[in-house]
Amino acid sequence: MNNECVSETVGDYVVVRLRGEVDLSWSQQVRRAILAALGATGKVGVEMSEVSYIDSSGIAALVEGLQNARSKGQQFGLVGVSKAVMAVLQLARLDRVFPIFPDLDAARAG
């Protein structure tokens, strides 16, 4: 599975789709994509069903996105979180900090 980070706009919602293994080699790219999405709209979700691995630098990018959104009253959530990602979120005790949605429809409904 190749690493990929693509942003799509669905109505007033921007979804940042991640694929592959999020690690130090490109977590900065992920971070920039999330911050750019938050700059473009008030509702952002990070879709992670195809993410097979995430390290602490990837988690840091997600945390930064959440804090950024909160400070401006924006919506920020994680969508379709894979088992691998959930395990790391639980380890970091962040599984109850992020709004987590099973799919895009649920995320858009907020």
Partner 1 sequence: MPDGADERRALDFLAELIQALALSTDLRKTLPMALGRIADFMQAEAASLFLVDPVSGLIECRLCVGPVDIVGLKLEVGQGIIGRAVAQNTTQIVRDAQTDARVNVRVDAETGFVTRSIICVPLTTGEGPIGAIEVINRRGGGLFEIEDAVLLETVAAPAALAINNARLVDSLVEQQRIRRELDLARRMQKMLLPKRRRGKFPLIGINLPAHEISGDFYDYFDLPDGRIAFVIGDISGKGLDAAFLMVRVASLLRWSGKDGLAPAQWLARANNESCQTLNEGRFVCALVGQYDSNDGSVVFASAGFPPALLQNAKGFDSFLADGPPLGILPNIEYSERRLTLGDDALYFFSDGAIDARVAGQARIGNEGLRDMIARHTGLAPEPRLRALIGDLKRMQLADDTTVLLLQEPRGAAAQILLDLPFPARAEQLRVVRARLREALDAQGVGPELRDRLVLAVDEACTNIIRHAYCGNCDDTITLRLTRERDMLAFELRDKAPAVDPGKITSRDLGDCRPGGLGVPFIRALMDDWQLEPGTDGKGNVLRMRKRLHSDGDTETNT
Closest to 33 measured CA to CA, from 58, 70, 2: 58
Structure tokens at 41: 């709209």
Contact with partner 1 (CB under 8 A): which of 94, 99, 104, 106?
94
Residue 91 CB, shortest distance to partner 1, in Å, is 6
Q: Are 8 and 21 in contact (CB under 8 A)?
A: no
Report the distance separating Cα 40 and Cα 82, nearest Å: 26
For residue 88, state whether it binds partner 1 (rule: CB under 8 A): yes
For residue 6, state whether it binds partner 1 (rule: CB under 8 A): no
Contact with partner 1 (CB under 8 A): which of 60, 86, 104, 106?
60
Residue 68 CB, shortest distance to partner 1, in Å, is 10
For residue 23, state whether it binds partner 1 (rule: CB under 8 A): yes
Residue 4 CB, shortest distance to partner 1, in Å, is 14
How many residues interact with partner 1 (rule CB under 8 A)? 24
Q: Which residue has the tokens 């993410």?
A: 51
Cβ burial of 93 (10 Å; 0-12, 13-18, 19+) is: exposed
Report the distance separating Cα 37 and Cα 16, nearest Å: 8
Binding-site ranges for partner 1 (CB under 8 A): 21, 23-26, 53, 55-57, 59-61, 63-64, 67, 84, 87-88, 90-94, 97
